[in-house]
Structure 1
Amino acid sequence: MANKPSIPKGTRDFSPSEIAKRNYIFSIIRKHFETFGFQPIETPSFENLDTLMGKYGEEGDRLIFKILNSGDFLKKVDEDLYSSKDAAKLTSLISEKALRYDLTVPFARYVVMHQNDISFPFKRYQIQPVWRADRPQKGRFREFYQCDADIVGSNSLLQEIELIQLYNAVFNELKLSGVTINLNHRKILSGIAEVIGEKDKLIPFTVALDKLDKIGPEKVMTEMLAKGISQVAIDKAAPLFSMTGSNEAQLELLRDFLKTSKEGSKGVSELAFILDSVAELGATDIALKLQVTLARGLNYYTGTIFEVAAPLEVQMGSVGGGGRYDKLTDIFGLKDVSGVGISFGLDRIFLVMEEMQLFPTDINRDLDVFFLNFGPTEAFEAMKLLRELRIRGIRADLYPDMAKVQKQMKYANQRKVPFVVLLGEQEIKEGVFVVKNMDQGDQTTFQINKIDDFLTSIQAVLN
């Protein structure tokens, strides 16, 4: 007996209905990317391993899917190394490529390789899948889509304001209200580490801090202590991690706390400029919230950090995020190219919209007109009409077999077809076809040689 087929954990099949909903989200995101002047690119699904490793921090590196070399991949491994079970050393010999972890590092690689062919500042968007060897759970998959928009070649903080407006435009059209854009600044985090005397431990400090919402303050403190951050330093920073009040009030507290840190003070100043400018422009009706514990554990961020939280009534976490990275292209040999970008988490947005019932009611309709099959002669005549309808952009189909009418009508109902055409022997003799409106139940007769009259009558429903 054959084994029952399955798919890897953290991956999914998508039905026609789900694809229709996903494409609806894709189309709105793509439309606004292009409205804001972003250009599309695509990069390979896998990269050279050394392109990806070391760019996401220790925890990110562990989640990269490595691809085994083809052929006898153990040929270069001697017996002693194999027996040592040293994964890091072994990986470098048996794997040269990996599935991309995100779209940002491949984009940085793209910019460096194509720097002579693009105009700076370069605004690109990219909608492609990424892979992470994460533990699957609700809203967290091993294969998922990211929809990224980035600008490289400009230090202007106007870009951050633009990206906030882009978030606003997309979520407004999706009718996804209740989301919150949380903001922080890596310079603020660097300043905090400096003021508490742990400047050299910025990375472990931010990696642990980024888990505050997931594991709670006690476990975060335990992790910091394990990474060599002193209890005195933790106690000094602790009041900041429970700050409340308006953005203005929190910024004022940060100004005072970071007054001895030049870098931290600059971060406060830049974040204040962004928040003030967005408010003055009236650029968004999405809530903007300063969150000093937001770190987004990726090491390449150097400036503003964004994270978009799903509506509170939906337990989903973030549905988007991003930030500024000033040195990402440095690692590939191109210096002094600042970048900033955001990402939409397509899969989580889908789940949120599904739970909140935000998809249009007719989104699953993929067929406008359906012809019943009354036999070979009638089907052939129906195909002539089918061709005319398709030329005019109408999604039309014919049942392939001469089955019972009841079976064919059941199929039409399952496909949610609004109009069913009956073209039998008598109709062909009279030069007409009969159309049944599936919602209202009434039938109307049209002349075969006046197909445009039929199109005019159904336009309101199809639009």
Structure 2
Amino acid sequence: MQKPSIPKGTRDFSPEEMAKRNYIFNTIREVYHLYGFQQIETPAMENLSTLMGKYGEEGDKLLFKILNSGDCFAGLTDEEIQERNAIKFAGKACEKGLRYDLTVPFARFVVQHRNEISFPFKRYQIQPVWRADRPQKGRYREFYQCDGDVVGSDSLLNEVELIQIMDEVFNRLGIRVCIKINNRKILSGIAEIIGEADKIIDITIAIDKLDKIGLDNVNEELRSKGLSEEAITKLQPIIELKGNNQEKIATLKTLLAASEIGLKGIEELEFILKRIESLSLYAQLELDLTLARGLNYYTGAIFEVKALDVQIGSITGGGRYDNLTGVFGMAGVSGVGISFGADRIFDVLNQLDLYPADSLKTTQLMFVNFGEKEEAYLLPIISQIRKAGIRTEIYPEAGKMKKQMSYADTKKIPFVALVGENEINENKINLKNMLTGEQKLVTTEELIKTFC
């Protein structure tokens, strides 16, 4: 008999792992609430017409498509079936797909519910997304994103607040990070001054891979996309630009002096950096010209967060997208957002062992079960203890003491309560500390004070 398994790139999560994940989700949720964001949810599947064409050619290939229910061959001729053309088949046999991210469904939500929304609309969303990617460390086919977006406002103060949100979340989680920032207008300006304005998408996709594949391979990819050697040569000093944020901006102003869109990007960056100067960030904020965020819909500031103490890809990313709702028939609505990669954050916290002791929400106290008489006596007491907020359970049957204590050990329950005939007569509880082995007789009120 074949052993049951799960698809590659997906994972089961144990109770302990779920407690850790909920600690991450709750931390992010609390910070979003601090900044006035409200939660929404959208369906796991969207119409393919909603998803296709929003993520570039590479993104379209990574969409999980869902076969139409019923006869998925309906509408296909025998010739088309025999042709075995996967793209053509999917076009007719699949009308829906699993969402690739939360931003495009959010744009669809905004357009569909425009008459019910007050703008600017600040929403956050914590849900799974799916990508038909090659699974590897830190990269999964099913993973959670924790998005925060503001739509209906052009103000760059939104970018400033999103930087603060990223900074606050990682400070609370105890992860040392560098927040990287760039602007797609600057990248457009660079493409313009090297004489390859029409290849902006190819350029951004290539240089976005610099960390992963290195400069030589980036240049090789640019050649394969038809960039001239002269353009690639002009691009080198920009990709390798050094110095602090102010020095980089000063150099860029000279390099992009002839590019109106490039100068506009610099102006936007300067505004954000100036506002951030008056705030006390925990993280370093770094202008990184190789940051491109491969997705086509970004039009302004772009962000990425790198963990400093663990080798892993970006753990948060985002940016401004002025034109996204336009594809759904609602032009002129600007938006900016970020997405926390919860699964990568989970891996980072595990590697660095940064979970606070109480974050796992495990049982704090277990009552040993000596029999029906003791059960009946204990249930009202246990109810009183739970009302005090203490996570408490009673072993469900009067099994052997060794078995019950082993259960408490396995679940890492720190305290065990023993109440037999003698304790009932004295109206006391024998409380055992499982770490030290110490035992003491206490009243219910004294027991509650031990935890509160």
Query: C-alpha offsets along residues 350-409 of structure 1, whole Å, 9 cap, x if unaligned?
Result: 111111111113434511221111122222222232222223332211112222212211
Instruction: Please show how residues 57-136 of structure 1 align to structure 2 within 5 Å.
Output: 57-136=56-135
Query: C-alpha offsets along residues 16-47 of structure 1, whole Å, 9 cap, x if unaligned?
Result: 11111111111111000000110100000110
The counterpart of 2:275, out of the listed 271, 274, 277, is 277
In the alignment, structure 1 residue 410 sits paired with structure 2 residue 406: yes
The counterpart of 1:203, out of the listed 184, 189, 201, is 201
Tell me if the contact between 2:390 and 2:451 (Cα under 8 Å) persists in the aligned partners: no
Could you say which residue in structure 1 is the equivalent of 2:375? 379
- What displacement does 1:423 show? 1.2
Q: Which moved more, 1:382-391 or 1:352-361?
A: 382-391
Paired residues, number: 452
The counterpart of 1:397, out of the listed 389, 393, 397, is 393
CA distance in 2, matches of 1:87, 1:407: 57
- What displacement does 1:445 show? 1.9
Could you say which residue in structure 1 is the equivalent of 2:437? 441
Could you say which residue in structure 1 is the equivalent of 2:15? 16
Query: Equivalent residue of 2:386, what SS?
Result: helix
Could you say which residue in structure 1 is the equivalent of 2:446? 453
Tell me if the contact between 1:326 and 1:339 (Cα under 8 Å) persists in the aligned partners: yes
Query: C-alpha offsets along residues 75-134 of structure 1, whole Å, 9 cap, x if unaligned?
Result: 211122223333222211000000000000000000001111111001000011100111
CA distance in 2, matches of 1:87, 1:232: 39
CA distance in 2, matches of 1:87, 1:111: 33
Tell me if the contact between 2:16 and 2:360 (Cα under 8 Å) persists in the aligned partners: yes
CA distance in 2, matches of 1:238, 1:454: 68
Could you say which residue in structure 1 is the equivalent of 2:324? 328
Aligned-residue CA RMSD (Å): 1.4
In the alignment, structure 1 residue 268 sits paired with structure 2 residue 261: no
CA distance in 2, matches of 1:82, 1:212: 41
CA distance in 2, matches of 1:109, 1:255: 37
The counterpart of 1:296, out of the listed 293, 296, 300, is 293
CA distance in 2, matches of 1:56, 1:211: 16
Could you say which residue in structure 1 is the equivalent of 2:156? 157
Q: So what's the TM-score if we normalise by structure 2?
A: 0.97
Identity of aligned residues (%): 55
Q: Which moved more, 1:266-275 or 1:426-435?
A: 426-435
CA distance in 2, matches of 1:416, 1:391: 22
Query: Equivalent residue of 1:318, what SS?
Result: coil
In the alignment, structure 1 residue 349 sits paired with structure 2 residue 342: no
The counterpart of 2:313, out of the listed 288, 292, 317, is 317
- What displacement does 1:429 show? 3.1
Tell me if the contact between 2:23 and 2:360 (Cα under 8 Å) persists in the aligned partners: no
- What displacement does 1:197 show? 1.2
Could you say which residue in structure 2 is the equivalent of 1:56? 55
Query: Equivalent residue of 1:408, what SS?
Result: helix
Q: So what's the TM-score if we normalise by structure 1?
A: 0.95
Where do 5+ consecutive residues of structure 1 fail to align?
Answer: none
Query: C-alpha offsets along residues 191-246 of structure 1, whole Å, 9 cap, x if unaligned?
Result: 11111111111111211221122122222222222222222211111211111111
Could you say which residue in structure 2 is the equivalent of 1:230? 228
- What displacement does 1:254 show? 1.1
Could you say which residue in structure 2 is the equivalent of 1:27? 26
Query: Equivalent residue of 1:106, what SS?
Result: helix
Code of the aligned partner of 1:282: L
Q: Which moved more, 1:22-31 or 1:197-206?
A: 197-206
Query: Equivalent residue of 1:420, what SS?
Result: strand
CA distance in 2, matches of 1:223, 1:85: 30
Code of the aligned partner of 1:307: E
